[in-house]
Amino acid sequence: MLKTTAVCTKAGKAIVSRQFVEMTRTRIEGLLAAFPKLMNTGKQHTFVETESVRYVYQPLEKLYMVLITTKNSNILEDLETLRLFSRVIPEYCRVLEESEISEHCFDLIFAFDEIVALGYRENVNLAQIRTFTEMDSHEEKVFRAVRETQEREAKAEMRRKAKELQQALMAGIIFSPQPHPRVV
């Protein structure tokens, strides 16, 4: 079972994190802070176990994609899930840097939610994740169309009224306001 996923710095500072089971923020921050001290460097995909959890991680340039799972979870499934998480990040972020990850954190969290539900991996691929996160509802499209039509009509009415006022002013029907004389 997947407990949490995070994109973190080499020092273990979480940039974006998503919990899939009930955990306190302090617990997650503690697990992520302990992560750099436990890992071996130089491997492409790897994992580290403690007495309570398993860290499955992948380096992403200056960052790490980390999954924290239970020790009895299927490591092969965890590695496949890790690969999918790692492929999602470049879909939303042009560069794999802390500022870019922070800027697109909500997009990433929504994509993470499509991959895992209640701690278990969903049967989705990258194209499905993109489709699900970009979906527009029919009602939303109708609402937008109605709103745009109302805005166009209001602008046309405003131009018509302005033209009428301009013509009335030119015809001398409406006089320009004169400044009121000051009383001393």
Q: What is the pLDDT of residue 136?
A: 63
Domain definitions of the chain by residue range: 2-134, 137-171
DSSP letters for 93-146: -SS-SHHHHHHTHHHHHHHHHHHEETTEE-S--HHHHHHHHH---HHHHHHHHH
Mean pLDDT by 10 residues, the chain (184 residues): 87 88 87 83 70 89 90 89 91 88 90 86 85 75 90 95 88 65 63
Q: What is the pLDDT of residue 153?
A: 95
Distance, in Å, from the CA atom of 39 to the CA atom of 154, rounded to the nearest integer, reads 62
**Could you tell me where the beta strands, DSSP code E, fall in the chain?**
2-9, 14-19, 46-49, 54-60, 63-69, 116-117, 120-121
CATH code of the domain occupying 2-134:
3.30.450.60
